[in-house]
Structure 1
């Protein structure tokens, strides 16, 4: 007997709790194979395709393009038959998943093996190592067996929407454990009214208990009426990558006591060195790769800046490896791919990695691992034709080097006025991790290496 399996939006990792539907890849009534992508979704990190772990007939889709869904909410329902029926329903797949836990994450394949267990394309796929414990989907309801009509018949009506796990519209709240949700629910406490004291605003048990025992607050004065919206004004929702960037930049401005220093540098010799490196038959080296090499050398000299601040423990964490982020502008907004262990790379390796990650960023195919874990950021805003800027630190890092355009300008060289290729370098740093002496020393070393690239040979 065939049953209807519900596939819910899986755990996206990296603290992500929702994703926006970009494009549906299947239609209701369409036959899908195991692990076939059914929807393209944009998270706060990247655009990904979500494969369905069941093979069969799509009986319902949940959500329209442009709509955001919380983790645990239904994506699609699939009519899955027996092993014999699944062989007919899933062309070329060798069978579809049996009915099981109903959580859209695991299940048994038609040949008796473990379900795919795959979550997002590009996050690592392959058969699950062992049988997974069934997870109850949001709302606490299991799968609903139902007779499935033949493929040619109209699909059954879509089940009603599943309520958000916290009983509040808008999806789940990040909490440290299910016990915290239960305590809040038993005391009628709305988790969305709490400010979590854990990392990234995670709500801890102590936060809930403190809110339960706290005296009722005095009535707040009435808020002033919002200013009228001008006629013809356009509202543009902050979603996906743009929303994540906005929240991160705002947090940086709130929490980090930043300061900026800058210097002009003669980049003529740097461009000459790049031209020599890019001789015919040699791998092409980008200016950004040369600057990345300069930054890693300067961070080796000034390791205080390859750090982050643990505000809870009032400690500075100096990090052992340089994971260098670089700002990349895309159609979906600003992203910062990360060159992991950049301090171990040659200039040619840095250039290849930058080109590869930039292409992936513009295509929207970067994985969370390629967008997180940075320890320092390089921002080349000179590509926009501007000379200078005061960059906002990429929280929770401690510094960002900004690079303006390289342009021909009058410059005193060897005691004479000459036309040289000049660039403005600006360095924004977290004043908690160092004082101006360290910041100035770092920036001066970067400028010296730009003016005399041969200094890199003796930098470390």
Structure 2
């Protein structure tokens, strides 16, 4: 029998996701919980496990397609006594919501499955897919009239899409990723379709142009010959969510930012000793590791920095745990996954958690659960060579600490001027939750620990 799997609600209140890639193909046998696809939500790329054990009979959407929650994405042929038509999703869905491995599918409308948002170029994608399937069949199984029908279908669809570049969703996604303007390309596929090879060839051409022309300055008012004047990137996924969250935070919480420049030479000397210590063998130790530990200690002494504003209940909620967010720049945009219960972790455990968090974020594997529930955050702008800034609060949090670059510069030391390693800390906080005195003491506590790590034992 045929089972149709709809895009589930991932538990974050999201209404749609983009199919990033399929890990299976039609005809593949899959097991329960096997990863079948990667989908990008507004927060992260999520691996989608199979809810059934069976054989893939149909992939309803191509990579690069944005699908609404509750719409079919894949059909399975599973063992059973009941028969069902492969293309009858409505017959496969119960009238109530069915739990899946990653949440709940959207509740179907009374008249059948949820209404589906029209996708630009959908007909072209279907036609080109049909053409590709026909081309993939053995020559003996495709008659000349059938091939002609496919070609005519593609040409008719192309005529109906107006000025839209003639390509399939996967090719359009590839072009976006590589920065190629499809409107400037001539397709070599059936009916003038732009293929992956056309996009890749354009990249090679631009690289050749780049080696000869990009080093020269742009002529006044003109872009370099042969290069697109503009590149437009759709605002979606992680970047769309981040933009909305930052705007909401900036215009909801009254931000205050304070700065403190610290001689962190003792901290850098401590890190050098720890790196050769057997207890930290194999672990990556950086100033962020020490700052994370110092922040957890400072939160215990200044709990207002670890609180949130509950507008609905008109309450201030102060947490006794620290879910420490770490801002991470990834190819898909800014993410702030957090380390749960960071205050209870040793320095070794923090170092390991930071390494895992960073690796997962850069690989685009951060789960929605890791991105939610944060209580306070750190952003390490020093890795980009920046000294200080005014970071925007992660929504729902009271404070965020920015670490600047560690620089060797003249500094007063023991009554003389010496060359020391110096860092600037920038603390932004929500003035509804944190008074100036509380924010200043919190920042001073972190600075004290970085200037003299031995002071840590006097604070715990």
Identify whether the pair has TM-score above 0.5, normalized to the shorter chain: yes
The 5-angstrom pairing of residues 52-63 of structure 1 reads 52-63=50-61
Residue 162 (structure 2) aligns with: none
Residue 229 (structure 2) aligns with: 232
Candidates 96, 108, 112, aligned match of 1:138:
108
Shift, 1:105, TM fit: 8.2
Residue 417 (structure 2) aligns with: 417
Residue 338 (structure 2) aligns with: 338
Shift, 1:77, TM fit: 2.1
The 5-angstrom pairing of residues 9-408 of structure 1 reads 9-82=7-80, 101=93, 119-120=101-102, 138-140=108-110, 162-164=114-116, 232-283=229-280, 284=283, 285-408=285-408
Deviates more, 1:48-57 or 1:285-294: 48-57
Shift, 1:399, TM fit: 0.3
Where structure 1 has 5 or more consecutive residues not aligned to the other structure, the ranges are: 86-98, 107-116, 124-133, 143-160, 171-229
Contact 1:262 1:426 in 2 (8 A): yes
- Distance in 1, matches of 2:333 and 2:92, equals 40
- Distance in 2, matches of 1:303 and 1:279, equals 35
**Residues 456 and 58 of structure 1: CA distance in aligned 2, closer, same or farther (over 3 Å):** same
Contact 1:102 1:136 in 2 (8 A): no
**Residues 20 and 414 of structure 1: CA distance in aligned 2, closer, same or farther (over 3 Å):** same
Shift, 1:280, TM fit: 4.2
Shift, 1:141, TM fit: 5.8
Shift, 1:289, TM fit: 1.4
Residue 432 (structure 1) aligns with: 432
**Residues 69 and 61 of structure 1: CA distance in aligned 2, closer, same or farther (over 3 Å):** same
- Distance in 1, matches of 2:106 and 2:339, equals 38
Between Structure 1 and Structure 2, the one with more helix by share is 2
Shift, 1:287, TM fit: 1.8
**Residues 45 and 135 of structure 1: CA distance in aligned 2, closer, same or farther (over 3 Å):** closer
- Distance in 1, matches of 2:13 and 2:324, equals 21
Contact 1:326 1:338 in 2 (8 A): yes
1:98-154 deviation per Cα after TM superposition (whole angstroms, max 9, x unaligned)? x96458986xxxxxxxxxx6524xx9xxxxxxxxxx988533466xxxxxxxxxxxx
Shift, 1:60, TM fit: 2.9
**Residues 23 and 51 of structure 1: CA distance in aligned 2, closer, same or farther (over 3 Å):** same
- Distance in 2, matches of 1:260 and 1:428, equals 4
Contact 1:305 1:434 in 2 (8 A): yes
Residue 125 (structure 2) aligns with: none
Contact 2:70 2:106 in 1 (8 A): no
- Distance in 2, matches of 1:447 and 1:410, equals 18
- Distance in 1, matches of 2:229 and 2:56, equals 41
User: For 2:369, what is the secondary structure of its paired residue?
Assistant: helix
**Residues 39 and 53 of structure 1: CA distance in aligned 2, closer, same or farther (over 3 Å):** same
**Residues 318 and 136 of structure 1: CA distance in aligned 2, closer, same or farther (over 3 Å):** closer
- Distance in 1, matches of 2:28 and 2:447, equals 60
Shift, 1:49, TM fit: 2.2
User: For 2:325, what is the secondary structure of its paired residue?
Assistant: strand
Shift, 1:430, TM fit: 0.3
Shift, 1:354, TM fit: 0.7
Contact 1:101 1:135 in 2 (8 A): no
**Residues 58 and 104 of structure 1: CA distance in aligned 2, closer, same or farther (over 3 Å):** farther
State the 4+ residue runs in structure 1 displaced beyond 4 angstroms: 99-106, 134-137
**Residues 382 and 6 of structure 1: CA distance in aligned 2, closer, same or farther (over 3 Å):** same
Contact 2:41 2:237 in 1 (8 A): yes
**Residues 83 and 57 of structure 1: CA distance in aligned 2, closer, same or farther (over 3 Å):** same
**Residues 35 and 454 of structure 1: CA distance in aligned 2, closer, same or farther (over 3 Å):** closer
Q: Give the paired residue count.
A: 344
User: For 1:313, what is the secondary structure of its paired residue?
Assistant: coil
Shift, 1:38, TM fit: 2.6
1:80-100 deviation per Cα after TM superposition (whole angstroms, max 9, x unaligned)? 453699xxxxxxxxxxxxx96
- Distance in 2, matches of 1:57 and 1:297, equals 53
User: For 2:8, what is the secondary structure of its paired residue?
Assistant: coil
- Distance in 1, matches of 2:106 and 2:452, equals 62
1:22-66 deviation per Cα after TM superposition (whole angstroms, max 9, x unaligned)? 112233344444443332111123222223323444333222322
Contact 1:322 1:375 in 2 (8 A): yes
**Residues 317 and 423 of structure 1: CA distance in aligned 2, closer, same or farther (over 3 Å):** same
Q: TM-score, normalised by structure 2?
A: 0.69
Contact 2:9 2:106 in 1 (8 A): no
